[in-house]
Structure 1
Amino acid sequence: MLSNLLALGCIAAIAIILSLHDEKPLPDWPALISVNSLAAVVTAVFKASLIMPVAEGLAQLKWNWFRHPRKLADIVLFDDASRGPWGSLLIIKQLPRPQKAIVAGMGCIITIAALAIDPISQAMIEHRTCYLTREPSDLELANVPRANYYTACPTSLLTQVSYSIDPIMEAALNKGLIDPEETETQIKAQCSTDNCTFTQGNDGYFFSSLAMIHFCQDVTDRVVKNSTDTWHLKGSTLQLAQSSDMVMLSIAETPENYNDDQRPFLSFDILMATFPDPECKKGCGLTLTIAPLAVQCRLDPGVKRYKGEITNGIYRETEDKEPSQMLKIRPTTDGDNDYAWTLVTNFRLIDGEEKSCYAVADEAPQYVRVDSTWNTIYGYGAPSADWNVTWNYYPQECDWAMSLFAGDALRYSLANLIGESVTAITDIGASEKNVNGPLWLKKAYARGQGNLSVCGLQYVSSLGQLDHSRYSQQPW
């Protein structure tokens, strides 16, 4: 009776242990004790308390069996059955005999069935990896910097003799000129796991950011041949003159002749000497193989949509190929020839979610003041005094701007780079590698094999880091 009570108690103990720790983290117990070891001990006690009365019963049934004449060998069968599963199996094999030991057979079946207690006790407990849901900290939350406005400038340009950009943008600009393919790595995207994806749905764009929009066109038809060895780009100061040390590629800012609403942020012309016969089948030398190529490019601040991915800690992103929205040029004071660039969009894309932009009449937190007639953002342009202006308020994420000082500093820095050129060192083989000039400009020269994509877009790609004004800027 006591053994049976102990067995029932062990079953209850196992049930309690499993219920207390089901779907729970492992308890903080001493190293020698665990849920598994505790369950194993209780199971061992249960098995012993279950088998002991069965073994004693088989031993007693041996004498009951011999109340009648039996074979002497049956003594061995009962003794073996009381000692374990093998003997129990042997006595079960004797049950077909005419003299059946039914009660003893039931005890033997219990003994054999007890073999399953150990594997069942192990299968009762399963350890699974549990992912706990919690709010991530700011350092753990994956994000990519974006910019709604660009105002970076070291000091007020009113007190500066020359224009200069902030050091972070200057470093990004130099990096982009030397290695334009790696400019994305300078964006300080945050991902605690080093593997994050910034897309909307399966492959949609994830966010919008201030960027620099570029457009290049082939204007070789404007090249005029002045003589047998001189070419001139009409409407520009650029020219090519054949000589042993001739300028192979030169860049100049496009002469200004724009209405205010058509004025680009920066426009420049490229004139270079190409070599249609690189294998010199018709002979080599500057005077034999030159063909001029002219490209005109313009840069304008605008808004682009992006999706990105961080793989093994390296950030890469893809921009939307659809036409971008360009910022509008705005005079900063009535009558002055100084400009800022602003834009108010109808939609905003943040963290993969696109929302409409609605104006409100009254001032509100996180809203920006915008005139309803010309969409001039307050502080980034000055409506004329005779305009009948009504001011509305738009969400900060819908407003985009580049300030006068930051824009002029960036424009003047780029204009200074445009003054560089590539010149030939010797007459023979200048089409291959014997040229002198800045490394980034020699890449644009492409060893005399330039075309629209290689010459114009290669140079603009070098300025691609301007898409990442996010280096030093944050949203509103």
Structure 2
Amino acid sequence: MIGKRVLRLWHNRWGAEAYGAGLALMSFAATISIIASYDGKTFPEWPAHITINALIGIFTVLIKAGLGLLLSEDDFDDASRGALGSTLFLFKIWKWDAVNNIAKFAAFLTILVAVVDPFSQQIVGIAACTRESDALIASVGRTNSYLTTGGHTGPLDSEIDSPMAVAINTGLVGPPDYIPSLVSTTCTSGNCTFGRFSSVAVCHSCAEITPQIRNSGGATGPWNFTLAGNKSASFPDLDLVPSTYLNTSASLSPTHLLDVRILSLNATTYRSASAFQCQLFPCVRTYDALVSKGVLEERIISKVPMGFDAFGGVGRYVLAASNLTQQGERTLNCSARAANDTAGLVRVALPNVDAAPQEMHGSGSKAPSAWFPQECVWTFGSSPYLAIRPEIRGYLDGADIQEYDTTYIGTIVAKNLWRNETIDFNSVDWYMRNVSDVMTARIRNSSPNGIDDFAMGRTTLDTICVQVRWAWLSYPAALIACGFAFFLVLFVQTPREAAAMRSWKSSNLAILFCSLDEAIRERTELTWFRDEIDDVARTAFVQLAHDGAGKAKFSEDELVINQNESRSREDGFTASSW
């Protein structure tokens, strides 16, 4: 029943045109839906290697089929036979009236529809893009605590671990051109992003103290510059006498890893000198970082010095956060906790207090304290603190440059500081920054739990993504719009009674069946639809005969319906063979 109803709608009034318009519109909408859902995304991996272009090709065929139905149901046979017939039709009828103009418009659209395929294949392009991978690990070195040493050697004494000893030597003697390359990084694709994170580190500060220099050599005599010492900071006097161009002294301050003073002669004038003081100290650095093309790129957001804390039975340098802290992709609540449940918490003095080294093993500090989550406390252990200080002091205490027969003699550390008589504040600050950065790289690689404590990030992969060229959709969109305009004009221009009639085309069977009388039509239940005529023609056997007027006709007496072709007489023929 439904099939007959659809067939009746197809043949009566505007059924075919409506189906064609709906098919074209739905196919176009499906095309837009697919390309919009994948625009800017990686190409989908569909079964049987089906591609987006293949689907667009299918929908383009359906658009052409729909527009073909919409445009081809007219009374001009040539115009209904594709692009070639439409082209010929444009040059056959020169009479310009409403009917001819509508038909010519339909013929012109039919020609345009025939060339829609190249436009549809230009809709989808490719573009280089990056996408995150959940399968690949991205990590960069960081740690909440640095406790590594080469072993305990006595009261208040520890041996420095070899990697840190190498790092100190590298920073003083020959740091790499790009120090972040020393930080442990895992990024298989070469492109990774990380959230903001913090780590235990070594920081530095430098200041120029040239006004503190005194010259006892007089305006014309041999130079004799002196930088007065500081007993509270364990600094002795520094002197520059004739033939001495650089001199340094280092102090083991109770609050720093190292304090160093540098006194240098201006070799150009021999009448002036400059002096600098720098410190290295435990701190917490906060970073923004990413890996681009295999290279770690970092930006230091902040540097906060650590303070000394005696809680926990051993001394250590710590920094406890007191507010929200961003740790990679997590935001930590680092507010102090109540002491009634200390599981997973660390006791820290508030505020952090400075203490002398001999106080490190005291546990009776009366400073106020609070408990913090382990992840919110950064610790620089007392053992590495005790081991690093004498190691680095050995390089920077008493480093000097002497002149002997126009030759400058000194350690490699002294020569790196002096820089062939070009020493100034910027060069000293750059030198100490390199030392602190190399030491920090080693600390970040020394997390007690290895990669589990590292900052985790996201790995991005270079790939190819779908790039929709929306402008190329304008052509099929314009064709569909023009098709609907044609349908609207045709609907308005067509008389109501003519809309119920269908024009026969693409077959001459209608002409052959015109000679059948009403009795035959009723017996075959023929309703004059094209499909029914085709069905009757495939099973009907007729014979030409003379009617009473002497004209040829299909003989009524010889018409056999629904019989096998083998029953036809030798002089008969099938209507479908005409």
Q: TM-score, with normalisation over the residues of structure 1?
A: 0.66
Instruction: Give me the whole-angstrom Cα distance separating, in 1, the residues matched to 2:189 and 2:204.
Output: 35
Q: Which residue of structure 2 aligns with residue 471 of structure 1?
A: 445
Aligned to 2:76: 58
Change (3 A) 1:104 1:132: same
Instruction: Check the 8 A contact 2:142/2:200 in 1, yes or no.
Output: yes
Find the structure with the greater CA-based Rg. 2
Cα 1:329–1:45 shift into 2, 3 Å: closer
Task: Tell me if 1:87 matches 2:88.
Answer: yes
Name 2:277's counterpart in structure 1.
296
* Deviation of 1:85 (Å): 2.3
- Alignment partner, residue 546 of structure 2: none
Counterpart AA for 1:58: F
Structure 2 partner of 1:283:
none
Alignment of 1:167-182 (within 5 A): 167=163, 169-177=164-172, 178-179=174-175, 182=178
Question: Equivalents in 2 of 1:31, 1:325: separation in Å?
Answer: 57
Question: Could you tell me which residue of structure 1 aligns to residue 511 of structure 2?
Answer: none
Q: Decide whether aligned partners of structure 1 residues 88 and 423 sit closer, same or farther in structure 2, where only a CA change above 3 A counts.
A: same
Query: What is the distance in 2 between the residues matched to 1:111 and 1:194?
Result: 58
* 1:244-289 C-alpha deviation (Å, 9 max, x unpaired): xxx43233323x6x7x6xx433112223332243xxxxxxxxxxx2
CA deviations 1:287-311 (Å, max 9, x no partner) are: xx26443333222212234444544
- TM-score, normalised relative to structure 2: 0.56
Q: Confirm or deny that 1:34 pairs with 2:31.
A: no
Corresponding position of 1:329: 308
Q: Name the CA shift for 1:80/1:388 in 2 (closer, same or farther; >3 Å).
A: closer
Aligned residue number for residue 286 of structure 1: none
Match of 1:209 among 199, 219, 223: 199
Q: Distance in 2 between matches of 1:375 and 1:129?
A: 61
The 3 A distance-change label for structure 1 pair 269 and 7 is same
CA distance in 2, matches of 1:79, 1:156: 99
Question: Is it true that 1:249 corresponds to 2:246 in the alignment?
Answer: yes
Q: CA deviation at 1:196?
A: 6.0
Tell whether the 8 Å contact from 2:18 to 2:70 is kept in structure 1 after alignment. Answer: no
- Which residues of 2 match residues 34-433 of structure 1 at below 5 A? 34-39=54-59, 42=62, 57-58=75-76, 84-95=85-96, 106-119=102-115, 126-127=123-124, 136-137=133-134, 139-141=136-138, 144-157=140-153, 163-167=159-163, 169-177=164-172, 178-179=174-175, 182-189=178-185, 194=190, 206-220=196-210, 221-223=212-214, 225=216, 228=222, 230-235=224-229, 236=236, 238-243=238-243, 247-254=244-251, 263-277=255-269, 289=270, 291-308=272-289, 310-320=291-301, 324-331=303-310, 339-347=315-323, 348-351=325-328, 357-361=334-338, 362-363=340-341, 366-370=344-348, 384-385=363-364, 392-419=370-397, 421-424=399-402, 426-428=404-406
Cα distance in 1 between the residues matched to 2:258 and 2:80: 105
- Whether the 8 Å CA contact 2:401–2:415 is kept in 1: the answer is no
SS in 1 for 2:134: coil
CA spacing shift, 1:349–1:373, aligned 2, 3 Å: same
**Distance in 2 separating the partners of 1:232 and 1:438:** 21
Relative to 1, partners in 2 of residues 1:26 and 1:472: Cα closer, same or farther, differing over 3 Å? closer
Secondary structure of the 1:114 match is helix
Cα distance in 2 between the residues matched to 1:139 and 1:31 = 27
Is 2:349–2:368's contact at 8 Å kept on the other side of the alignment? yes
The answer to whether the Cα contact below 8 Å between 1:88 and 1:112 also exists between their aligned partners in 2 is no
SS at match of 1:87: helix
Matched-pair contact (CA < 8 Å) for 1:81–1:90: no
Amino acid in structure 1 at the alignment position of 2:392: L
| Consecutive unaligned residues in structure 2, runs of 5 or more | 1-6, 39-43, 230-235, 455-578
The RMSD of aligned alpha carbons is 4.9
Q: Which amino acid aligns with 1:471?
A: N
Deviations 1:116-150 (A, max 9, x none): 32355666684377999998437355x54333321
| CA shift in 2, pair 1:419/1:88, >3 Å | same
Q: How far apart, in 2, do the equivalents of 1:300 and 1:381 lie?
A: 16
Structure 1 match to 2:429: 457
Q: CA deviation at 1:403?
A: 0.6
Q: Percent identity?
A: 18
| 1:212-254 deviation line (CA, Å, top 9, x unaligned) | 23233344425564894554543326433324xxx43233323
Could you tell me which runs of 5 or more consecutive residues in structure 1 were left unpaired when the two chains were aligned. Answer: 61-77, 97-101, 200-205, 278-288, 429-433
Name the SS of the counterpart of 1:213 in structure 2. Answer: strand
Q: Conserved in 2, the CA contact under 8 Å of 1:332 and 1:382?
A: no
Q: Post-superposition shift, 1:19?
A: 4.0
CA displacement, residues 179-234 of structure 1 (integer Å, 9 cap, x when unaligned): 365222222355566456768xxxxxx44332323233344425564894554543
Secondary structure of 1:300's partner? Answer: strand
Write the distance in 2 (CA, Å) between the matches of 1:26 and 1:128.
16
1:116 partner SS: helix
Quote the Cα distance in structure 2 between the aligned partners of 1:234 and 1:153. Answer: 35
Q: What is the deviation of 1:414?
A: 0.8
Hey, what's the Cα distance between the residues in 1 that align with 2:156 and 2:309?
23
Answering whether residue 433 of structure 2 is matched by residue 441 of structure 1, we say no
Query: How many pairs does the alignment contain?
Result: 410
